[in-house]
Amino acid sequence: MMATPAAEVHIDAALVRNLLREQRADLAELPVQVVANGWDNSVVRIGDEWMARLPRREMAAALIANEQRWLPVLAPLLPLPVPVPEFVGSPTADYPWSWSIGRWLPGQSAADAPPSDQSATADVLGGFVHAMHQPAPPDAPANEFRGVALQARAAAVGDRVAALAQRIDADRTSAVWQQLVATPAWNGPPLWLHGDLHPSNMLTLHGRLSAVIDFGDLTAGDPATDMAVAWMMFDAAHRPLFRAAIEVDDHTWRRAAGWALNLSLAYLTGDDSTSMPAIGRATLHEVLTEFG
C-alpha cells in the first residue's frame, strides 16, 4: 500500500499560533487544533469560525496557490459551500510556503457519514457538478493526471491491474477498461474541474450534502473526470438521477465510468489508514457490475 507521504515541515498548533501572531493577531488567542493531515495539506481549526490550510510538502505549495487564485472566482457560481481562502498567509523563517485562512465548514466526511437520501444527493451533487463545469480560461491550472484524455491513463491502469491481481478480478477489470477506454475522446472546450471529487472531499451535515472541499487538484479539461463520482456515491438505481442533473451525453458518461475504474485502482493502492481503499473497492464493484 502507498502510505501518506511524510510531511516536509511539521505542522502543529504551536507553529500555527506563531503564524497567527505574526500575520493575524486578531485570531492568535483563539483555540488552535490540527484536525486533519492529508496527502498534501494540513487543516487546522481556529476557534469556532475559522480554519487554516497549510501545505505539508513543497509540491503542494503550487496547488494551494491555485485555490487562492481561483476559488474566490468560482465560489459564487457554485450551489454548495466551498473553502474560499479569505486570507493568504506569507512564508516565514519557520514556515516556507504560502498558506490560507477561510471559514470553518461544519460537517463530516461523506465517506464516514454518507448522505441519508441518495435521490436528493444525486440532484444536489449533480447541480454542483453542472455548475462547476463551465469553460475555463487559458490560464486555468494544468494537471497531467486529471482532465486529460482517458487513453493517457492506460499505462497506469495496466500497471495497477497487475499490481492488484491478487485482490481484484484482473481479467474482468481489464476487459471493462478496454471497452471504456475505446470511447471517443472529449472534443469540447476545457471545462473547470474539481479534479479530486470523491466522498472524502465532501461534507455532510444532518444527513445532507453540505459542502465540497479540497480543490488542490483544480484544473480544466474533460468533464468526465469529475463525473466519475457517480460510481463512488450512487448505486445503479440512483446514478440516472445524477446523470439527469448534469445533462451528459453517452460518450462522456462512458468516459466517466472509465475514469471511475482508473481512480478506483488508484484508491485501492492507497493508505489503509484512510477511507480510500474502501472507496476504491466499492467504486470498482459498481463499474464492473454495470459494464462487465
Separation between Cα atoms, residue 286 and residue 235, nearest integer Å: 7
Same topology, domains 13-105 and 109-291? Answer is: no
Q: Is 6 or 225 the better-scoring residue by pLDDT?
A: 225
pLDDT over threshold 80, residue 108 = yes
Residue 194 phi, psi dihedral angles, 5° rounding: -60, -45
Distance of alpha carbon 118 from alpha carbon 146, whole angstroms: 26
- Residue 35: all three cell numbers together: 484536525
pLDDT bracket for residue 267 (50, 70, 90)? very high
CA Rg value for the chain: 19
Q: Summarize pLDDT for 39-60 with one digit per residue, the tens.
A: 899 999 999 999 999 999 999 9
Give CA–CA dist 198/267, Å, rounded. Answer: 10
**CATH, domain 13-105, list 3.30.1510.10, 3.65.10.10, 3.30.200.20, 3.30.450.20:** 3.30.200.20
User: Which of the following CATH numbers is that of domain 109-291: 3.20.20.80, 3.90.1200.10, 3.60.150.10, 1.10.10.10?
Assistant: 3.90.1200.10
Q: How far apart, in whole angstroms, are the C-alpha atoms of residue 186 and residue 224?
A: 8
CA distances, 6 to each of 13, 15, 56 (Å): 18, 17, 8
Give the C-alpha separation, 190 to 180, whole Å.
Answer: 21
Residue listed under C-alpha cell 494551494: 64
CA gap 66, 100 in Å, rounded: 11
Residue extents of the structural domains in the chain? 13-105, 109-291
pLDDT, residue 5, reads 83
Q: 199: which 3 cell numbers? A: 466522498
pLDDT given at position 272: 72
Average predicted confidence (pLDDT) for the chain: 97
Identity at 275, one-letter amino acid code: S
Residues 86-95: contacts with CB under 8 Å, at least 24 apart: 87/23, 87/24, 89/19, 89/23, 89/24, 89/52, 90/23, 92/18, 92/19, 92/22, 94/15, 94/18, 94/19, 95/9, 95/15, 95/19, 95/54
Cα separation of 141 and 134, whole Å? 14
Q: Which three cell numbers stand for residue 109?
A: 466526511
Q: Tell me the per-residue pLDDT of 209-263, one tens digit each, with 9 for 90 and over.
A: 999 999 999 999 999 999 999 999 999 999 999 999 999 999 999 999 999 999 9
Contacts within 8 Å (CB) and 24+ apart, 200-203? 200/109, 200/110, 200/111, 200/274, 200/275, 200/276, 200/279, 202/109, 202/110, 202/125, 203/105, 203/106, 203/107, 203/108, 203/109, 203/110
Confidence grade of residue 288 (pLDDT, cut at 50, 70, 90)? very high
Backbone region of residue 36 per phi and psi (left: phi > 0; alpha: psi in -120 to 50; beta: other values)? beta
Please, which pLDDT band fits residue 2 given cuts at 50, 70 and 90?
low
